[in-house]
Amino acid sequence: MKIAIVILNWNGQKLLEQFLPSIVNFSSEEAVIYIADNASTDSSIEFIQKNYPSIKIVQNTVNGGYAKGYNDALKFINADIYCLLNSDVEVTKNWLKPIIDVFETEEKTAIVQPKLLDFKDKTRFEYAGAAGGYIDLFGYPYCRGRVFNFLETDKGQFNDTTNIFWASGACLFIRSEVYHQLKGFDEDYFAHQEEIDLCWRTQNNGYQVKYVGKSKVYHVGGATLKETNPHKTFLNFRNSLINVAKNVPKKWFLFVLISRLILDGVAGLKFIFELRPIHSLAIIKAHFSFYKNFNKSLNKRKKVSKKQNYYRHISVVWQYFVLGRKEFKNLK
């Protein structure tokens, strides 16, 4: 089984200097390593060519963000399994074997995520994916080990292998055949939550998304776009709405859409009370952008599953903010 580890880079020489050693040391015997460069203007490429001549480079002509960056690069990479790996991830010894074993024994498993821990505090799960992601009734994402901003300590509670709803784009393994069958990421997302859409579409086509706790990596998180950046708020809220428009089954669609208008408004008020009005403005801009392109999102609704078992019939907002349930095991 041919594995390609593909690291998307944009002006990230410092991150490559820090994190490439672990990837080379613990991966090079089992996989081919690629750098997909999004038209960097720093000396990233020169650094790789000088210090890591065995790493292959795919040079994109523009910085199209996460979605287009991978779509453009993966056209030129021949492998059975793609590992889409952020440039701010440290991998560990034998991290690949448990994941390869799942792909070799479970033909219906198309996407896999390892355990994602925080590089800055390796005892805690990391925000971007923790121990695998889910979607609540209203389209809000959360994870085993991370609900909103609450991060659980890793005590071995998620050392299992199990089906999940979405895998984190920080470290996402996918069968190349499925990736190209689904035409890759939706480039309208640019960045953030495009992996949720891809996982949703993958399941609508009869495949499974899985978490493998025996494999672990450490993720810095926010290395390219900080949490305090209002553009990140804009992308997260807009792209979550696009997920709803594209993928929520018909019988729930109108209810979820109206509910999101109300709940996102509450989130905007919360930012105002926290003296962060710039994020409230970002939510408003996200809704205007979404409604402006609403028909475009609706036209992408294909093979939307009528089944409801892909995501959980709870409101994670209600559970977290009203009932105070912050750990995944307490969500009901």
Domain 3-219 -> CATH class: alpha beta
The predicted model gives 169-180 an average pLDDT of 98
CA dist., res. 105 & res. 2, Å (int): 15
Provide the residue type at 199 as one letter: C
pLDDT band at 8 (very low <50, low <70, confident <90, very high): very high
- pTM of the entire structure? 0.94
Each residue's pLDDT tens digit, 279-330: 999 999 999 999 999 999 999 987 776 654 555 678 999 999 999 999 999 9
What pLDDT shows up at residue 226?
58
27-85 confidence digits (pLDDT tens): 989 999 999 999 999 999 999 999 999 999 999 999 999 999 999 999 999 999 999 99
Q: Is pLDDT of 126 > 60?
A: yes
pLDDT value, residue 311: 58
Which residue, 232, 115, 102, 107, is CA-closest to 171?
Answer: 115
pLDDT given at position 133: 96
Please provide residue 200's backbone torsions phi and psi, each rounded to the nearest 5 degrees: -60, -45
Supply the pLDDT for residue 222: 63
Checking if the pLDDT of 271 tops 60, the result is: yes
Measured CA to CA, the distance from residue 212 to residue 112 in angstroms comes to 7
Q: What are the pLDDT digits (tens) for 206-218?
A: 999 999 999 999 9
b/e burial code for range 180-206 (CB count within 10 A of at least 16 → b): eebebbbbbbbbbbbbbbbbbbbbbee
Return the pLDDT at 272.
Answer: 96
| Whether the predicted pLDDT of 223 surpasses 50 | no
Q: Range(s) for CATH 3.90.550.10 in the chain?
A: 3-219
pLDDT of residue 212: 98
User: Across all residues in the chain, what is the average pLDDT?
Assistant: 94
Both tokens of 35, joined, read 């750098």
The pLDDT of residue 145 is above 90: yes
